[in-house]
Chain A
Amino acid sequence: MEEMIPKKQYAPGEHPEMPPPFKTKGAGLWLQQNLFSSPTNIVLSILAIYFLYKMLPGLLEWSLLDAAFTGSDRNECRAKAGGACWAFISERLPLFTYGFYPAEERWRVDLSFLFLVISAVALLWEKCPLRKPLMVFAVFFPFIAAFLLLGGNGVKLMVVLACTAVVLLLLYRGFSSAFMMVLALVVAVLAKYAFFGGIGVPFTDIHATQLVDLNQFTQLNLKTVSTDLFGGFMLTLIIGVTGIAFSLPLGVLLALGRQSNLPIIKYSCVVFIEFIRGVPLITLLFVASTMLSFFLPPGTTFNLLVRVLIMVTLFASAYMAEVVRGGLQALPKGQTEAADALGLKYGPAMRLIVLPQALKISIPSIVNTFIGLYKDSVLVIVIGLLDPLGIGRASLSSTEWNGLTNEVYLFVALFFFVSCYGMSRYSLYLENKLHTGHKR
């Protein structure tokens, strides 16, 4: 090398670029640097390779190479191949997806799922075309999906959508704290009557709708489907999406309540949050299934799925509250001070200054809480709802597919892995993107 470069003095900026005198590329170098750089690393690499050598071939053989993908029962599978029997999964796939939802009505589930995908894309993807109108659609999505899945009268849906629109408009326009108090009181009274007697549950049995002649809207009616028939991945998504949609606003309220300087408000929020976080979800689900009817007026019953959804939402909202509180605490005190100094009242200051920033800071943690909630939805099998795991376990007891536990569990695990891994990658992407801190 030295001979190639003439030894001479260069003027500043005129020195030619020279290659480094050592290797920077090549497979051998990569191996040396990444696997065998020190004695410890050599030992670790050999152990890892041995582990893979022991595990991978067997796993591949069992799950793919020596597995049966078709067949009508377990014995047929066994006759074909010695490994996994995936025929079971492919045969029961509709059951795993829709539960016992009537076959001729399944388009409604598919349509809801399509709407879900559209809403999710609009909410999560910043460069989505038509994002604004689609986000408005996403806000109404839970009600539309509930109508599609449950069926029933289309007029109720319209009423619900209109009410939501009014509330949102009020929120958007901004309102005084006195108005908020009145609204909160009205909601509390309604909730009290809805759950513990008095008038019927709002929006499942609206009296006003009875004043209208419903027959003229018959073409809007869909066949009612009982929630007992809900199951499979559809149920997982229902629990997950409901929990996500309702726990976030509730969690924000709880977090603000916990930050409040009014002791009674503050400590009721603290007690609620710490109680929910201190007990396992399945005890709350047991409460929903066995005990809740004790607290309702004699003779009232309401749907098990609704009770479970309420419990899951309350559960998730306590965790959400802590996440949001983290975001609120991360906000410099100067932000609220500046809002105060400008003369903003509590409501606008929170809505315009504090919450947008606090929520943005806590988005990654919010997504992680969602993942936790989504995974926790399998626990509903302990009170007899048929999520994929429940369907799988029920199917295992049928004579023709008896004993295929590993296949069932791995299949359900794969489903969860794919969806949760996707969500966690998204949260990671956000975390990397949201580095617009308070730099001074």
Chain B
Amino acid sequence: MNESANTVSSTERALGESTIELRQMHKWYGEFHVLRDINLDVKSGERIVVCGPSGSGKSTMIRCINRLEEHQQGDIIVNGTELTNDLKNIEAVRREVGMVFQHFNLFPHLTVLENCTLAPIWVRKQPKAEAEAIAMKYLERVKIPEQAGKYPGQLSGGQQQRVAIARSLCMSPKVMLFDEPTSALDPEMIKEVLDVMIELAQEGMTMICVTHEMGFAKTVADRVIFMDEGQIIEENVPEEFFNNPQSERTQLFLSQILAH
């Protein structure tokens, strides 16, 4: 998929300093050890794709980055702010990190425009008119400005997900997290969402993306991370990862996912 799109390889771009750092991070659900010794360093402008079988902890890991889940051991540092119990820090991190969910999680009682302006008005304390202008700009970028007055329930899945992306962009985040953004979509709608994401990547947005879209990974990723049973098993540039996987589990996973 998307082979026609420009390949924006990592090698020729200069990456900035670390934006997200995970150091020896562990997480438990009760007795269950979901994340084990996660180490990850994401540079500014870097695009990372996380893949792995279901239940491997991919979603949990990126949900830790904006503290939707709490980690119990190790450090997470986002934009120089460490995530602890300090609510000020959590708020600061969430202001700078946008997130797109598998099920969109748009607010059904608000119009598309209101969905987009809600956080800028209440969190960034922008004036309404300014927030609306910015929202329209991003809605145009995701190619649905004409839907601004509609309610999410009136849109298709692909359109809803694009609204969700615009909603996150309205906060002008430094990092975007994507939690399986295309998994709940019908096949013909996946492309319209991926196109928006590719465009975003080309503009230099720092992205961490949990997805099974291997085409997308090949096109835009600087690094592909493979996770299984709560651990990062393998980490490599896309060409190496797909053509020359190191561990057996990665090989097995790739053979299953690319079999048909």
Task: List residues of A whose CB falls within 8 A of some B CB.
Answer: 174, 332, 334-335, 337-338, 340-345, 348, 352-353, 356-357, 360, 436, 438-440
Contacts and interface: CB of A to CB of B under 8 A. Distances in A.
A335 B68 contact: no
A342 B108 contact: no
Contacts of A436: 108, 151, 153
A338 B119 CA distance: 10
Q: Which 3 A-B pairs have the closest CB atoms?
A: A338-B105, A334-B105, A343-B94
A342 B119 CA distance: 6
Given A334-B101, A439-B153, A348 B108 contact: no
B123 interface: yes
Given A344-B122, A348-B122, A440-B157, A338 B107 contact: yes
A342 B151 CA distance: 19
B95 interface: yes
Contacts of A357: 107-109
A440 B184 contact: yes
B42 to A, nearest CB: 18
Main secondary structure, interface of A, reads helix
Residue among B122, B167, B184 with max Cβ neighbours from chain A (10 Å): B122
Contacts of B184: 440
Contacts of B107: 335, 338, 353, 357
B67 to A, nearest CB: 8
B163 to A, nearest CB: 12
B118 to A, nearest CB: 6
15 contacts: A174-B122, A334-B101, A334-B105, A335-B105, A340-B94, A341-B101, A342-B123, A343-B119, A344-B118, A352-B122, A353-B118, A360-B109, A436-B151, A438-B108, A440-B157
Interface string B120-152: 001100000000000000000000000000010
A334 B161 CA distance: 14
Interface of B: 66, 68, 91, 94-95, 97-99, 101, 103-109, 118-119, 122-123, 151, 153, 157, 167-168, 171, 184
A334 B108 contact: no
Nearest to B108: A438
B101 A342 contact: no
Contacts of A344: 118-119, 122-123
A211 B122 CA distance: 41
A337 B94 contact: no
A51 to B, nearest CB: 48
Nearest to B119: A342
A343 B171 contact: yes
Contact of A440 (B94, B97, B103, B168): B103
B156 to A, nearest CB: 11
Contacts of B167: 342
A343 B91 contact: yes
A356 B109 contact: yes
A436 B122 CA distance: 26
Contacts of A352: 118, 122
A341 B109 contact: no
A358 to B, nearest CB: 10
Contacts of A332: 103, 105
A164 to B, nearest CB: 24
Residue among B98, B104, B108, B123 with max Cβ neighbours from chain A (10 Å): B108
Nearest to B107: A353
Nearest to A356: B109
Contacts of A335: 105, 107
